[in-house]
């Protein structure tokens, strides 16, 4: 999906995919609070540090609903920012943030 959003044929040339790894690591850091909200609601322990991927074949250890909804927009944002299309980058950044925010899970807590 990210390739469709950047209007390119990502994956045809391994050099073109190099941009994805560092950007994926940025997206993992930026969406960690959302992932932790999902983990908390599921009863799983939160992450203390964002995971790190070293190549595009690594799996992303976040909820699929978060990754599939937001990361394509995040990669398109980073790609267009890098290529100087700041207007389109801003649009995709907003879409990334919106997708992350839609995945946040809130839990009511009772205070004594």
Per-residue model confidence as pLDDT tens digits over 35-64 = 999 999 999 999 999 999 998 788 888 999
pLDDT band at 91 (very low <50, low <70, confident <90, very high): very high
pLDDT category at 96 given cuts 50, 70, 90 is very high
pLDDT at residue 60, rounded to an integer: 86
Question: What is the chain's Cα-based Rg?
Answer: 15
pLDDT digits (tens, 9 = 90+) for 63-86: 999 999 999 999 999 989 988 999
**Domain map (residue ranges) of the chain:** 13-45+56-103
* Rounded alpha-carbon distances, angstroms, from residue 6 to 9, 22, 45, 76, 108: 9, 17, 35, 5, 39
> What burial letters (b/e) apply to 65-91, b meaning 16+ CB within 10 Å?
ebbebbbbbbbbbbbbbeeeeeebbee
């Amino acid at each position: 999906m990210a390739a469709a959003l950047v209007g390119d044929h990502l994956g045809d040339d391994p050099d073109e995919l190099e941009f994805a790894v560092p950007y994926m690591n940025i997206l993992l850091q930026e969406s960690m609070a959302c992932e932790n909200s999902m983990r908390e609601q599921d009863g799983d322990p939160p992450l203390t540090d964002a995971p790190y991927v070293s190549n595009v074949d690594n799996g992303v250890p976040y909820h699929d609903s978060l990754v599939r909804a937001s990361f394509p927009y995040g990669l398109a944002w980073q790609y267009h920012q890098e290529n100087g299309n700041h207007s389109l980058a801003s649009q995709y950044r907003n879409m990334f943030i919106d997708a992350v925010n839609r995945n946040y899970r809130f839990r009511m807590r009772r205070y004594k």
